Each structure stands twice: as C-alpha cells, then as structure tokens.
C-alpha cells in the first residue's frame, strides 16, 4: 500500500457538551459516557503535532465548542501555527466579547447552524429556545467582517421549508448556505424513520434550490447535499479512510471519521498515549480500511472501486452489520434491499405510518438509556 499523505484536515471536537439537543446530531449515541476532556495543554500539543504532520485546516467543533473557556487560546495557537481555522457553532455562547476575542485570536471562518427558518421548528428540533439568539449571532458575524456561512441540516421535518430557509439566508446576508441533508449515522440513524424525506420532497427541494441559484447568481453560493440513500452509488466517504481527515474527540481518541469508534473489532488510539505521527501512519485503527486491500466482493473486482473506495465503513456496519462490506447504498451490494426498505417507508405519508419509536432528542439522559 502506498504511504498515505498527511492529514490535511484536522477536526478538533473539543467537547460533547452542548446546550442543544438535536435529534439528528452526529455525535455518538453514547457520548454521555465520554471520559475526561483533553486539557488545554493536551490540545495545544495536538495542534502542534498535526501541523508538523502537514495539517493545513483546523475545525473547532463539538458539541458546542463555545463551552470551552480556552477556545480563544486554542484558536490563537492554531492561527500562529499557520492553520486556516474554522469554528462550527450553534451560536450559543458567542457573545460580542467572545466574538471580538476570537477575531483578535485570528479565527478565519465561522459556520453558524440553524435548524430551520421558523422559530417553531428551529426550537422544536433543537429542544431549546435559540432561534432569536442565532439571528443576533448572525448579525454579529457580519459586523465583525466574517463571511456569513450558514449550515442547515435538512430532513423530512424541515425540507418543505427550503424556500423559506434560503430566503432567510439571503435576508441575513449569507455568502454561503449549506443545505446538508442528514446523513444517517448516530442520532439521525436512531431517528431515521422520522427524518428520511420522501423522493417527492427531495425533488421539490431540488427544484427550489435550482430556482434560487438561477435567481441569485453569484451573490450567495448554495450547497445542496442529498441523502445518499437515494443514490445508486455510495459516497467516497471522508475522501477515503485515513486519507485526509483526522478527528480528535473530546477525550483524545483519534478517528478517521466522526463515528468510527462504534465499529467492532477495531481499537482507536488516544493522543494521550502516543504521537499523532504514530497514530496516523502506524496504528491499526487508521490502517485497517486504507487503500483497497481490505475489500470483499463485490467491491474487490468492481471497476468503480477507485472512485468510491467501497463507500462508507460506518454505513456498511450500521446497515449490513459488517464494516468491511460494500456500502449498502450501492445497488451492487447484496444488502441494498435494506436501503430500499427505508426509502419505501419514507414514501408513505406521515399520517399513514405511525413511527414504531418516538423521536429521541440528544440528551445525556437519552444517551445513557440507549448506550
Ligand atoms: Fe465513518 Fe463514513 S462516516 S467511514
């Protein structure tokens, strides 16, 4: 296997603590059992080691990264080291004082999440009253001279509001809007029957996005990521396992993607126990699904295997029970029927298909109950 390149994109998941309780959160279901968060000094070491390995972009996320009082210090060090720095936030805790401090620390980019264009749905989906606060934070981001990047996770419960969501983004002066359909891992997988949109909903949303793109031209860039369940081929997840993406979780576990820790039979290293260089190049966790030597049929002999690299390992495990299987999104997968069954269910109207389990919000209590 060729020597992998450097982990260009470092994601520092500073904490799993979060004031919001989104039902589609990609944090692990068992987040409440997390061990002690890395200290400031430990994070500073991670930043230095990753930069020395060749990382160029550093995202600070969570949970809610504003809950870490040392965020400005970490951003300042990342900036000094030469990273391009992003903050991924719900906006809670991002007041004027901290916004100014982050600006001074050299933060390059803020991505603010909304759950919807209406107070009612935004607050329902996050199980908080945060809609008005997010609008204030959006205005503050503009005042401080940042490009306005809004992120809205799209699913069955808000996809019919896409027109209003785009109008809200225009009104807030967004330069970029990410309409990212939920990916069905972690909490979104648990709540999939509530969240997976119908084909008709997706087609309508797509037409709305295209119409806005035509009308707004270059003024605002709209990214629209559709759910891969509706595709015939899987996504090239993380651009390949252990290829460019390195995430460090709040307790220091190093992972090739946000959710890999759930995969069975695979131990992931902790930054407290070794250097990032050893972790990236030599650990079993990062090497297991690199390249294509691990593939089984039908991936092994597939002429498209270099395009999608077998798809997503986490999805293969969640849907087929085997992380080395072909991603069941692929129509060549023997397990594709599982995806089709979920899609078929999503075509039924809500009042014609009482969900078999209630919507579960991401709370520590629910996490402990489900773990
Ligand atoms: Fe883990 Fe795709 S999300 S490999």
* Tokens, residue 165: 């969501």
Q: Provide the domain count of the chain.
A: 2
281 located within any domain:
yes
Mean pLDDT of the region 260-269: 94
Give the confidence band of 218 by pLDDT, cuts at 50, 70, 90. Answer: confident
Ligand 1 atom nearest to 257, measured from its CA = 1
- Asked which of 91-100, 231-240, 264-273, 353-362 is least confident by mean pLDDT, the reply is 353-362
ipTM above 0.85, yes or no: yes
Q: How far apart are CA 339 and CA 114, in angstroms?
A: 28
254 located within any domain:
yes
Q: What domain range is 295 assigned to?
A: 237-333
355 located within any domain:
no
Q: How far apart are CA 319 and CA 220, in angstroms?
A: 36
Whether 209 and 247 share a structural domain:
no
pLDDT at 122: 84
Strands 254-255 and 245-248: antiparallel
Whether 83 and 172 share a structural domain:
yes
C-beta of residue 299 within 8 angstroms of C-beta of residue 305: yes
Please give the model's pTM, rounded to 2 decimal places.
0.94
Whether 183 and 303 share a structural domain:
no
- pLDDT tens sequence across 42-55: 999 999 999 999 99
Q: Angle at Cα 210 formed by Cα 209 and Cα 213, nearest 5°?
A: 85
Whether 320 and 289 share a structural domain:
yes
Whether 264 and 218 share a structural domain:
no
Whether 46 and 77 share a structural domain:
yes
Quick check: CB of 312 below 6 Å from ligand 1? yes
C-alpha 263 to ligand 1 mean position (Å): 10
C-beta of residue 164 within 8 angstroms of C-beta of residue 136: no
C-alpha 187 to ligand 1 mean position (Å): 14
Q: How far apart are CA 2 and CA 287, in angstroms?
A: 11
Whether 58 and 142 share a structural domain:
yes
Whether 182 and 34 share a structural domain:
yes
Domain boundary (230, 260, 279) is at 230
Protein residue with its CA nearest to atom 1 in ligand 1: 314
> Which residue out of 310, 314, 327, 328 has the highest number of ligand 1 atoms within 8 Å of its CB and is therefore the one to mutate?
314
Ligand 1 atom nearest to 183, measured from its CA = 3
20 located within any domain:
yes
306 located within any domain:
yes
Quick check: CB of 238 below 6 Å from ligand 1? yes
Q: How far apart are CA 283 and CA 278, in angstroms?
A: 6
Ligand 1 atom nearest to 260, measured from its CA = 1
Taking residue 226's Cβ as centre, other Cβ atoms within 10 Å add up to 15
Helix axes 96-105, 71-81, angle to 10 degrees: 20
pLDDT at 91: 96
340 located within any domain:
no
345 located within any domain:
no
Whether 268 and 214 share a structural domain:
no
Quick check: CB of 319 below 6 Å from ligand 1? no
Whether 48 and 117 share a structural domain:
yes
- Given a cut of 70, is residue 355 above it in pLDDT? no
Mean pLDDT of the region 22-28: 93
CATH number where 122 lies? 3.20.20.70
350 located within any domain:
no
Q: How far apart are CA 371 and CA 355, in angstroms?
A: 21
Q: How far apart are CA 260 and CA 267, in angstroms?
A: 10
Q: How far apart are CA 229 and CA 246, in angstroms?
A: 25
Ligand 1 atom nearest to 185, measured from its CA = 3
> Which residue out of 13, 25, 228, 238 has the highest number of ligand 1 atoms within 8 Å of its CB and is therefore the one to mutate?
238
164 burial type by CB count under 10 A (0-12 exposed, 13-18 middle, 19+ buried): middle
C-alpha 173 to ligand 1 mean position (Å): 33
Protein residue with its CA nearest to atom 2 in ligand 1: 312
Whether 173 and 26 share a structural domain:
yes
């Amino acid at each position: 296997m060729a020597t992998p390149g450097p982990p260009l994109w470092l994601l520092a998941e500073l904490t799993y603590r979060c004031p919001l309780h989104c039902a589609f959160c990609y944090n692990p279901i068992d987040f409440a059992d997390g061990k002690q968060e890395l200290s400031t000094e430990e994070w500073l070491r991670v930043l230095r080691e990753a930069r020395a390995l060749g990382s160029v972009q550093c995202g600070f996320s969570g949970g809610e990264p504003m809950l870490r009082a040392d965020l400005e210090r970490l951003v300042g060090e990342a900036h000094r080291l030469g990273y391009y720095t992003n903050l991924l936030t719900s906006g809670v805790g991002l007041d004027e004082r901290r916004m100014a401090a982050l600006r001074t620390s050299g933060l390059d980019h803020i991505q603010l999440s909304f759950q919807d264009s209406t107070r009612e749905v935004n607050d329902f989906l996050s199980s908080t009253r945060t809609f008005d606060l997010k609008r204030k934070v959006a205005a503050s981001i503009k005042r401080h001279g940042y490009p306005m990047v809004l992120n809205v996770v799209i699913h069955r419960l808000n996809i019919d509001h896409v027109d209003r969501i785009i109008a809200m983004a225009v009104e807030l002066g967004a330069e970029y809007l990410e309409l990212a359909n939920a990916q069905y891992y972690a909490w979104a997988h648990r709540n999939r029957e509530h969240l997976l949109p119908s084909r008709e909903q997706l087609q309508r949303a797509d037409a709305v996005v295209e119409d806005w793109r035509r009308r707004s031209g270059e003024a605002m860039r709209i990214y629209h990521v559709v759910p891969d369940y509706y595709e015939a081929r899987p996504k090239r997840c993380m651009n390949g396992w252990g290829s460019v993406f390195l995430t460090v979780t709040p307790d220091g576990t190093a992972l090739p993607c946000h959710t890999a820790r759930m995969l069975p039979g695979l131990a992931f290293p902790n930054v407290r126990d070794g250097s990032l260089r050893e972790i990236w190049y030599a650990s079993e966790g990062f090497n297991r699904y690199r390249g294509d030597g691990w593939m089984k049929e039908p991936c092994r002999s597939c002429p498209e295997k270099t395009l999608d690299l077998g798809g997503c390992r986490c999805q293969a495990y969640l849907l087929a029970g085997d992380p080395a299987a072909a991603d069941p999104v692929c129509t060549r997968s023997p397990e594709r029927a599982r995806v089709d069954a979920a899609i078929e269910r999503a075509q039924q109207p809500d009042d014609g298909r009482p969900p078999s389990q209630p919507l579960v919000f991401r709370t520590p209590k629910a996490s402990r109950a489900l773990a």
